[in-house]
């Protein structure tokens, strides 16, 4: 009999990429104008992107990229990361973090079930 190794919790790529950028002290409008918009423009022509959603808050830019089903998310992430690296951001802006979202990502999904019913 052949034994196939089994992982209890295998890592699954969910086809999403998150770009997070910190600009300490910047207003939401400055974050949007100087960071979020620049990064969105840089990645807009990357092959394999299905959807881009973003938010700009005080000091933080957050961009969520959804990858088309027919594309390899790891390849798209490398392409997105390469385009992000080309962007010249203002002084004081930290380097963007580009990560692929997988089932290994911390805080991806937590579910707690509770019942007061006996039996």
Report whether 24 contacts 57 (CB < 8 A): no
pLDDT, position 15: 87
> What is the rounded distance in angstroms from the CA atom of residue 18 to the CA atom of residue 105?
11
* DSSP letter (8 states) at residue 93: B
Q: What is the pTM of this model?
A: 0.77
Domains of the chain and CATH, by start: 13-102 (3.30.70.1430)
Element (H, E) at 61: strand 60-67
> What is the rounded distance in angstroms from the CA atom of residue 104 to the CA atom of residue 102?
5
Element (H, E) at 52: strand 49-57
52-103 residue pLDDT tens: 999 999 999 999 999 999 999 999 999 999 999 999 999 999 999 999 886 5
């Amino acid at each position: 009999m052949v034994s196939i190794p089994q992982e209890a919790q295998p890592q699954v790529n969910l086809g999403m990429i998150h770009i997070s950028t910190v600009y300490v002290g910047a207003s939401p409008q400055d974050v949007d104008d100087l960071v979020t918009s620049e990064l969105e423009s840089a990645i807009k022509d990357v092959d394999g992107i299905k959807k881009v959603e973003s938010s700009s808050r005080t000091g933080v830019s957050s961009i969520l990229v959804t990858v088309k089903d027919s594309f390899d998310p790891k390849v798209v992430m490398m392409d997105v990361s390469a385009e992000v690296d080309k962007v010249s951001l203002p002084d004081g802006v930290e380097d963007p973090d580009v990560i692929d979202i997988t089932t290994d990502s911390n805080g991806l999904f937590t579910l707690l079930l509770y019942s007061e019913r006996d039996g």
